[in-house]
Amino acid sequence: MPSPPLSMKPTGWFQVAWSDEIAVGAVHRMTYFGQDLVAWRAESGRITVMGAYCEHLGAHLGHGGTVTGENLQCPFHGWQWNAEGRNVCIPYEDRPNRGRRIRTFPAVERNASVYIWHDAAGREPFFEAPDVFAGFGDGSGAGDYYRQQRLFEPALAMHPQYVLENGVDAAHFKFVHKTPINPVFTRHDFDDPVSYVDFTITFEGDDGQRIEDVNSGVQAINGGLGIAVTKSWGMIDNRTISCITPVDDTTSDVRFSVYIGRTPGKDGERAALRAEEFGLEIIRQFRQDIEIWSHQRYSASPALTGSEHSGFTAIRDWARQFYPDAAAPAVAADPA
Ligand code: FES
Ligand SMILES: [Fe+2]
């Protein structure tokens, strides 16, 4: 009997926009996890992501809804809804409807991105979305890097888990990314909802070199299935953020963001141009993965070799905690 396909309603943090796409006063329409949503930014700058339909008579708040102060006003009869999804004003009545509420999603802005917490069971967040700088504890910040470069690929037929499985898949680098030799994993830590993968890798030299002589690598932090951040060492300084967000039961939006490090004292136009080009090269490499993922069929019982077995087993066991039908539901932990 074939195993059921992976659920497209996993639990965790997922990117729904880049922060600068939603200005103060803007109302954005989006569909994620099979639900029509709006994201809007109040005058204070606070972002809210909630169901798109007004609880009064069902108008779509993303078609003519307006931000007034800290509330979103429906275009149909002017009812106002606050950041908790509560009705705070009915313009033609003395008091609001305190009972009706539009579903809101916990939302954070990090990595110049808007992330929402999705959990089919309605649980509060039990882990934090990783920060591409603070997550590595090295005192770095966006000011040390050139502007974020981006790739957006909407509605691809792929599942978030494919991207995470890259993090245990040593053999694909040579074929998909044309590395001279296979990388070697130095850390696979899948104990918690936030997991860690480190590997030694080079994109230079020939296939005769030994991995022991390679002095470059990548560290990755996976915040659930939706967000992975990476830091490179020993090569051109770069950070990446890859985010896969299910749209419906078959497709996902893919967002990929790249930062290239500035070199102190070398901040001229030439250096900026080179950084831009290197960012594009990283994006090109990510596209090579996407070409595979977006046409891949999930293999529930893959033909793994001996060297692949432990990594794939570890990541698939880890991934199970994020699915609504998980045999062992994720344990709520203090997100602090
Ligand atoms: S439908 Fe929104 S106020 Fe009437
Ligand atoms: Fe890859």
283 beta partners:
none
Please report the pLDDT score of residue 4 as a whole number.
Answer: 53
- C-beta separation of 142 from 134 below 8 A: no
Q: How many domains does the chain fold into? A: 2
CA distance 61 to 39: 10
Q: Is the pLDDT of residue 164 over 50?
A: yes
Please report the pLDDT score of residue 330 as a whole number.
Answer: 42
Residues 227, 275 within the same domain: yes
Residues 191, 236 within the same domain: yes
Compute the distance from residue 286 Cα to the ligand 1 centre, in Å. 43
Please report the pLDDT score of residue 55 as a whole number.
Answer: 98
- 335 found inside a domain: no
CA distance 250 to 264: 45
Please report the pLDDT score of residue 266 as a whole number.
Answer: 87
Compute the distance from residue 38 Cα to the ligand 1 centre, in Å. 15
In a mutational test of the pocket of ligand 1, which residue from 57, 61, 71, 81 has the highest number of ligand atoms less than 8 Å from its CB?
57
CA distance 331 to 172: 33
- 329 found inside a domain: no
Mean pLDDT of 314-328: 85
Q: Is the pLDDT of residue 328 over 80?
A: no
- 334 found inside a domain: no
Residues 54, 163 within the same domain: no
Please report the pLDDT score of residue 325 as a whole number.
Answer: 73
Residues 160, 260 within the same domain: yes
Q: What number of other Cβ atoms are within 10 A of residue 288's Cβ?
A: 14
Q: Which stretch, 20-24, 161-165, 266-270, has highest mean pLDDT?
A: 20-24
* Nearest C-alpha neighbor of 43 from the set 22, 25, 19: 25
**Distances 166 to 84, 105, 286, 303 between C-alpha atoms, Å:** 37, 29, 11, 16
- What stretch of H or E contains 185? strand 184-189
Q: Is the pLDDT of residue 2 over 70?
A: no
Residues 179, 277 within the same domain: yes
Q: Is the pLDDT of residue 335 over 50?
A: no
CA distance 42 to 57: 23
pTM, to two decimals? 0.94
Q: Is the pLDDT of residue 146 over 80?
A: yes
Residues 98, 138 within the same domain: no
Assess whether the C-beta atom of 76 lies below 6 angstroms from ligand 1.
yes
In a mutational test of the pocket of ligand 1, which residue from 79, 80, 81, 90 has the highest number of ligand atoms less than 8 Å from its CB?
79
Of 56-65, 96-105, 211-220, minimum mean pLDDT range: 211-220
CA distance 91 to 152: 40
Assess whether the C-beta atom of 54 lies below 6 angstroms from ligand 1.
yes
Q: Dump pLDDT digits (tens) for 273-292.
A: 999 999 999 999 999 999 99
CA distance 89 to 98: 10
Mean pLDDT of 298-314: 93
Residues 61, 145 within the same domain: no
Residues 178, 285 within the same domain: yes
**CATH number reported for the structural domain that contains residue 186 in this entry:** 3.90.380.10
Domain span at residue 148?
A: 134-322
Residues 171, 31 within the same domain: no
CA distance 190 to 313: 11
**CATH number reported for the structural domain that contains residue 39 in this entry:** 2.102.10.10
Give me the helices (H) in the chain, please: 160-165, 172-176, 269-293, 306-319
Residues 24, 147 within the same domain: no
